[in-house]
């Protein structure tokens, strides 16, 4: 059982949990994720780490309530315990002194980008951070990112805060020498960033979030194609060379269970209503 020591809603339907997990905190690095299970027969949900505090023995993660399981998770409160947290899983991000690193975090994945930004800065890089969301209300960690970055920009799809869209990145990428780009966020964003950097020859690392089950390389659910070869998102990634990823296949595979996911969310809402049965764990 993993006790939630801090809970906050940092944007609508986006929740932050700090959880007592000393064993995981001791080994966790930026780029890694945990798999969370809220009840015995529940779905296993992968969530990327935002921080690991070895002194406090806690890990922090942020999740978006998009479906049945993440909504169930969001019903837990400070002092409650999560049945199971497995990790750290996946490979740590490659952190070293590259020179100038552009970090792009989109949607809920702004959160784990904070861990990367902090580590890239500690490694001696000049860090340019960009956070983006659909609308201004979904932007978060503005002050935290600003404090850790040499340059900081915001963008929204509708232009309600910061730049409208990500086209302005072209200017950043051409006006100064950027040695590496790291991106975490929706597939459409990862693809757009990778397409921008490819002609410029800037190494671009993207975090992929294919559907996962075991997270340990056994089931094959997280299969992705990179440089024409089959890779497993959980054990070979989750970070890959953005110029080599088959994004179309990734999108198709992510949508594989959409009807079932919609049905599960609907059933869950109708049966439990908004007062969805709190996961008794
Ligand atoms: C390595 C990795 C890291 C992730 N990190 C975060 C994070 O830091 N914060 C966050 O909010 N979300 C993260 N996700 C996505 C998160 O796991 C899904 O949103 C979650 O599983 C949805 O579960 P659900 O039952 O609430 O919704 P569902 O109804 O099951 O699904 C809603 C959407 O989430 C996707 N999804 C469903 N199950 C999985 C799964 N097992 N693995 C991946 N995607 C799935 C589906 O494509 C669907 O579009 C990550 C996914 C992966 C693979
Ligand atoms: S999640 Fe099963 S092999 Fe990656």
Pocket test of ligand 2: the residue of 214, 240, 254 to mutate, having most ligand atoms within 8 Å of its CB, is 214
Which residue, judged by its Cα, is nearest atom 37 of ligand 1?
A: 211
User: Cα dihedral sign for 134, 32, 61, 69?
Assistant: positive
Question: Residue 45: which of 20, 59, 28, 62 has the closest Cα?
Answer: 62
Pocket test of ligand 2: the residue of 32, 90, 232 to mutate, having most ligand atoms within 8 Å of its CB, is 232
- Say how far apart CA 92 and CA 28 lie, in whole Å: 8
pTM: 0.92
Is the shortest distance between the CB of 100 and ligand 1 below 6 Å? no
- DSSP 3-state of 67: coil
pLDDT tens over the chain, length 281 residues = 899 999 999 999 999 999 999 999 999 999 999 999 988 888 899 999 999 999 999 999 999 999 889 999 999 999 999 999 999 999 999 999 999 999 999 999 999 999 999 999 999 999 999 999 999 999 999 999 999 999 999 999 999 999 999 999 999 999 999 999 999 999 999 999 999 999 999 999 999 999 999 999 999 999 999 999 999 999 999 999 999 999 999 999 888 877 777 777 777 776 654 444 455 43
Strand bridging mode 204-207 / 180-184? parallel
């Amino acid at each position: 059982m993993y006790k939630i020591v801090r809970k906050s809603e940092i944007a609508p339907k986006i929740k932050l949990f700090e959880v007592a997990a000393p064993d995981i905190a001791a080994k966790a690095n930026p780029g890694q994720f945990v798999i969370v299970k809220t009840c015995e027969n529940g779905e296993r949900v992968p969530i990327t780490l935002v921080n690991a505090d070895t002194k406090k023995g806690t890990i922090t993660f942020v999740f978006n309530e998009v479906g049945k399981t993440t909504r169930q998770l969001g019903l837990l409160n400070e002092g409650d315990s999560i049945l199971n947290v497995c990790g750290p899983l996946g490979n740590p991000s490659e952190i070293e002194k590259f020179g100038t690193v552009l970090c792009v975090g989109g949607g809920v994945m702004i959160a784990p980008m904070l861990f990367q930004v902090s580590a890239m800065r500690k490694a001696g890089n000049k860090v340019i951070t960009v956070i983006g969301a659909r609308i201004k209300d979904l932007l978060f960690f503005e002050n935290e990112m600003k404090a850790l970055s040499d340059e900081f920009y915001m963008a929204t799809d509708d232009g309600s805060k910061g730049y409208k869209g990500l086209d302005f990145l072209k200017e950043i990428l051409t006006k100064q020498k950027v040695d590496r780009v790291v991106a975490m966020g929706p597939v459409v964003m990862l693809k757009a960033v990778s397409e921008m950097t490819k002609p410029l020859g800037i190494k671009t690392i993207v975090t992929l979030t294919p559907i996962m089950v075991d997270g340990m390389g056994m089931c094959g659910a997280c299969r992705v194609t990179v440089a024409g070869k089959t890779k497993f998102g959980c054990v070979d990634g989750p970070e890959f060379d953005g110029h080599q990823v088959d994004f179309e296949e990734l999108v198709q595979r992510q949508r594989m269970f959409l009807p079932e996911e919609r049905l599960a969310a609907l059933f869950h809402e109708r049966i439990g209503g908004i007062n969805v049965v709190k996961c008794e764990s």
